[in-house]
Structure 1
Amino acid sequence: MTIAEELRSRNFMLCIALGISHLLHINILFIFGLLCLLSGLTLIFVEIPLLLRICPTSPTFDNFIRRFTTNYMRAAIYGAMSLIQWLSIIKDPTSLIAAAVVLLLAAVCYLIAGMKGQGFVGSKTLGGQGVAQMIV
């Protein structure tokens, strides 16, 4: 896979797109759109460890992102982000449900992998084994 294909195949692109589209709302959906956008931006750093090396970020942010190196921790962050998007249904059912479903599926997959004892496998293109070990 090329870098462009890797970037298109990730959950954060859906969150970013839906987050931007919901920034045009004048009600509480604006907040959920903003949270979806922030979730997508956070997931970029979680899923692409190489970015922590090349982007100027604060040590606090780096330490926060480094917590999510195991399947259980990734399941937790995906689950929390999914829950936030499910709460958007309170106001009005919108396309943010798609982000909630996809994030929930990712959380379940990470949880199953953790319960089966499978180790996390990162992408070699976007900073897999060698780069991820240097960062952690």
Structure 2
Amino acid sequence: MGCVDEVKSMNFALYGQWLGIASIILLIALGIVGFIGHVVFSIVGWVIAVILIFVEIPLCFKFCPTSPKFDTFIAYFENCWFRAIMYLVFAVVMFLSNLMGASPLIACAVCLLLAAISYGAAAAMGQAFASSR
């Protein structure tokens, strides 16, 4: 299935995965940009990005040695409901960074929220979890 076919599929789990990958990029890049103003939230953003890398990019399991306990933990997120909740929690954490003053991390929070909405829509519509190729 090509990129155009995935867009036409109306599978919200795929949209959630794309938004999750965009969130990873934003969390890393804007964490660097906002490091001076918001050290704590930048570091929290990097930690969230690392977690999302393992959740969204299964190829990382082949390169990074992980324990069976960690693999079992990540397997819980093969469900769209769990992913929606996880992304919503991460979005709330990033929205809290905006309470401390204007922060570039608000873009991360919005992207995480959109990913949560996409995974929530997929779960509500009964769509099975799908991974982009």
Instruction: Name the TM-score, length of structure 2 as normaliser.
Output: 0.78
Match of 1:53 among 58, 62, 69: 62
Q: Does 1:93 align with 2:93?
A: no
Q: How many residues align?
A: 116
Query: Deviations 1:46-100 (Å, cap 9, x if unpaired)?
Result: 1111211221234443333222111111101111110000111221121111000
Match of 1:10 among 22, 30, 34: 22
**Letter of the 1:112 counterpart:** A
Alignment check: 8 A CA contact 1:17 1:37 kept: no
Alignment check: 8 A CA contact 1:20 1:34 kept: no
Alignment check: 8 A CA contact 2:80 2:122 kept: yes
Q: Percent identity?
A: 40
**Letter of the 2:24 counterpart:** F
Inter-partner Cα distance in structure 2 for 1:18 and 1:59: 32
Instruction: Name the TM-score, length of structure 1 as normaliser.
Output: 0.76
The one of the two structures with greater contact order (alpha-carbon pairs below 8 A, sep at least 6) is: 2
Query: Deviations 1:92-124 (Å, cap 9, x if unpaired)?
Result: 121111000010011001001100000111022
Runs of 4 or more off by more than 6 Å in structure 1? none
Mark the runs of 5 or more structure 2 residues left unpaired by the alignment. 3-17
